Amino acid sequence: MRHALAIAAHGPEHGVNPRVGCVLLRADGSIAAEGWHRGAGTPHAEVDALGKLPEGAARGLTAVVTLEPCNHHGRTGPCSQALIDAGIARVEYAVADPGEKSGGGGDHLRRAGVAAHEGVLGAEAAEFLRRWLLATTRKRPFVTLKWASSLDGRTAARDGTSRWITGAAARQHVHEQRARHDAILVGTGTVLADDPSLTARGDGGELLEHQPMPVVVGLRDVPAGSSILRHPRGVLETGSRDPEAILLDLYRREIRSVFVEGGPTVASALVRAGLVDDYLVYLAPTLLGGPRLALGDLGVDTISAQRRLRVTSVTSLGDDLAILARHHSGSTS
């Protein structure tokens, strides 16, 4: 199963489908074939692995899969039925598929006489699939809120200038994070103040292969001539300030992950509504003072109402730090 998780990581993090790995084992424990999912419209991991064996060679094998085999017809057929048709005798999967349409593959396998069990390395697989599982369960995209600030929490100087608080390594890290998401979200205030292009670029300024769709929150139109209007994915203008409605609409558009780079107004609205899953904060060893805080009012009137976070990683990027955090269990979200 750990090997299945490792090969699942070859698949893209963005997109509507989860990253899944499958290993087919012989009775002696040796690997007969392996496969992983390469993105929407391509064979799922189970079918990818089965396709590497001659016809009939999968009969009696054990399939080890990071996610419960799907049980529906989407862009491809159901993996549970493919395993049954191939004569797989046993299936071990790490976590159940929570999808209303895609779930239920384990029961389908068991009804067909296949020994199917859930839970091998379940916690590791759930963490690996966290973005997709949360999006599927909550029926909204996974939200990563990013900001870059001084040590005293300021995102700009008093006059609004902010280029550059962090160094080149941190800024490049941001581009890589953009490319890991389906969409990048900002408010109209950020578009007007900074005129960002919101593309994901490499060290040399070249466009990376995957570009997140720019999404602009707010009631004002994006001005003609704005850099964002030249984005290769086009621009989605929401015409709304309602964060829950916006995320619901994005989910319906098959967007499963959103990278938020909007200013304090958008960021604070998402935090207040409990819609942030990951916080990615870039801290620069500098002090600015003044009013330009990363977040505005969150409705925390007393210390007992604080929104406690748990730091999951700290990465050094030149002189800067990238801190990844999520809500501490038991805290207000």
Active site residue 34: no
Q: How far apart are CA 106 and CA 123, in angstroms?
A: 18
Q: Give the residues across from 225 on adjacent strands.
A: none
Q: Are 283 and 151 in contact (CB under 8 A)?
A: yes
Contact predicate 82/48, CB 8 Å: no
Provide the residue type at 116 as one letter: A
Spot the catalytic one: 46, 68, 92, 261: 46
Q: How far is CA 308 from the centre of its chain?
A: 22
Q: What is the spatial distance between Cα 266 and Cα 258, in angstroms, rounded to a whole number?
A: 13
The set of catalytic residues is: 46
